[in-house]
């Protein structure tokens, strides 16, 4: 073998092996992790500290996805649009593919690092989570749909255990339980003051949750194993997903009626869909950066907090009944977010664990008891 591939000498008495580092002009294997810049919408996050990276990603997720949620509810408020959730997803995937292609062309490294088979699976899961989620809005009101989507914390943790072999501590589990229970409480309150539940909608959003629980872990594993970029992930997963949805709509005959309806209301459908897709694309770029930097569980926690804020804005901008049980459920969700943030930062900030706090409280109680008996 030539010296280029690292083997420079070989005989029966002694083996000489050297590993040569390829130059910048040589093409590295897509399976080798490479140290490269992490850019999100032109912002270089590589040289920033971890807290700064986290703040920028969280700010991007909240800003763009809050606008995204408002536009999504605005589109489905158009009279007669509710049956066309899959067509909206098709348009959204088309815009995402174009945006991803443009961003990829602006980067220096245009290679596809992640295997095509992996992208086919990620695209299938993406179609499931976004298509079923959009379609469920034809059967459920927006806050109820968001509440169901927020309950994916536990499935994500289960997926992390089985897909990546992760282990979560008691604090992470408690955080997921608090957030999920708070959101369930919110859902029960919604069913009492505005019962708008439909079995079809519940089934659709539940299936979307199953896909959503898997996709974060699969994306995290693929991006870390193959060092794939955010723009590459968006381009290939959504372009393949576009083909999936288009084939499905052609098979069931759902493309014609949707195109006819949207042609009658181009501004309220295609116009809203463009900005809806643009803000969603910007948002997913920050979500993928969160996944790559901090893991799927942290990304899900941030997006769950964003969904809670979306619900508040939904009540502010769109007329809905209100009950104080929404507040109690929301506070339980916030406590779950606090537990998760505490769990992720206790080692970096040298914060005491729950066990340490419990031991400290028991010690204080014992000292107080002894002082009273003296």
Q: If you search the block for the tokens 């109690």, which residue do you land on?
A: 328
Q: What is the DSSP letter of 137?
A: T
How confident is the model at residue 29, as a pLDDT? 31
Domain that includes residue 172, residue range: 61-343
Element (H, E) at 16: strand 15-17
Q: What is the DSSP letter of 269?
A: I
Those residues of the chain that have pLDDT short of 70 are 1-37, 42, 107-109, 150-154, 156, 159, 163-164, 187, 190-198, 230, 320-321, 341, 344-358, 360-361, 364-374
Distance CA 364, CA 262 (A): 67
**In the numeric block, which tokens belong to residue 188?**
């029960």
Q: Name the nearest CA neighbour of 56 among 74, 77, 72, 40.
A: 40
For residue 371, being part of any structural domain is answered with no
**In the numeric block, which tokens belong to residue 205?**
């959003």
**In the numeric block, which tokens belong to residue 197?**
């539940």
Say if residues 63 and 56 touch (Cβ distance below 8 Å).
no
In degrees rounded to 5, what are phi and psi of residue 132?
Answer: -65, -35
Compute and round to an integer the Cα radius of gyration of the chain: 24
Q: Which 3 state secondary structure label does DSSP give 170? A: helix
Q: What is the DSSP letter of 4?
A: G
**In the numeric block, which tokens belong to residue 221?**
């594993």
For residue 40, being part of any structural domain is answered with no
- List Cα–Cα distances, 200 to 72, 135, 196, in angstroms: 20, 10, 12
Instruction: Indicate the number of domains in the chain.
Output: 1
| Pairing mode, strands 15-17 and 39-40 | unpaired
How confident is the model at residue 184, as a pLDDT? 76
Q: What is the pLDDT of residues 49-70, one digit of tens each?
A: 888 888 888 999 999 988 988 8
How confident is the model at residue 281, as a pLDDT? 86
Distance CA 191, CA 110 (A): 49
How confident is the model at residue 270, as a pLDDT? 93
Say if residues 297 and 156 touch (Cβ distance below 8 Å).
yes
For residue 195, being part of any structural domain is answered with yes
How confident is the model at residue 42, as a pLDDT? 67
Distance CA 84, CA 131 (A): 10
Q: Name the nearest CA neighbour of 144 among 333, 311, 305, 332.
A: 311
For residue 41, being part of any structural domain is answered with no
Distance CA 46, CA 39 (A): 7
How confident is the model at residue 8, as a pLDDT? 46
For residue 9, being part of any structural domain is answered with no
For residue 25, being part of any structural domain is answered with no
How confident is the model at residue 15, as a pLDDT? 43
């Amino acid at each position: 073998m030539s010296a280029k591939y690292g083997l420079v000498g070989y005989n029966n008495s002694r083996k000489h092996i050297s590993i040569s580092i390829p130059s910048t002009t040589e093409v590295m294997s897509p399976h080798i992790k490479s140290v490269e810049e992490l850019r999100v919408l032109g912002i270089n996050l590589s040289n920033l500290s971890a807290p700064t990276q986290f703040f920028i990603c969280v700010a991007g997720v909240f800003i763009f996805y809050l606008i995204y949620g408002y536009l999504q509810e605005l589109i489905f408020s158009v009279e007669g649009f509710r049956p066309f959730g899959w067509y909206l997803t098709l348009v959204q995937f088309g815009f995402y593919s174009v945006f991803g292609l443009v961003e990829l062309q602006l980067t220096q490294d245009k290679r596809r690092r992640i295997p095509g088979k992996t992208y086919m699976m990620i695209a299938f899961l993406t179609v499931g989570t976004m298509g079923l989620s959009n379609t469920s809005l034809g059967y459920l009101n927006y806050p109820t749909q968001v509440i169901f989507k927020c309950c994916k914390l536990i499935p994500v943790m289960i997926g992390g255990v089985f897909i990546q072999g992760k282990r979560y501590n008691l604090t992470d589990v408690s955080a997921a339980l608090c957030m999920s229970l708070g959101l369930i409480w919110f859902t029960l309150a919604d069913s009492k003051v505005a019962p708008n539940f439909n079995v079809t909608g519940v089934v659709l959003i539940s299936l979307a949750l199953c896909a959503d629980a898997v996709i974060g872990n699969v994306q995290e594993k693929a991006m870390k194993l193959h060092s794939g970029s955010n723009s590459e992930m968006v381009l290939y997963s959504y372009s393949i997903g576009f083909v999936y949805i288009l084939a499905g709509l052609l098979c069931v005959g759902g493309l014609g009626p949707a195109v006819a309806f949207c042609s009658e209301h181009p501004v309220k459908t295609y116009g809203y869909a463009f900005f809806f897709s643009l803000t969603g694309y910007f948002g997913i770029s920050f979500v993928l950066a969160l996944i790559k930097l901090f893991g799927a569980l942290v990304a899900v926690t941030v997006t769950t907090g964003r969904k809670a804020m979306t619900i508040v804005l939904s009540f502010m901008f769109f007329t809905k009944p209100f009950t104080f049980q929404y507040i109690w459920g929301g506070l339980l969700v916030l406590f779950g977010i606090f537990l998760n943030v505490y769990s992720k930062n206790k080692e970096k900030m040298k914060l005491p664990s729950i066990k340490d706090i419990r031991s400290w409280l028991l010690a204080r109680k014992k000292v107080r008891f002894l002082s009273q008996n003296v």
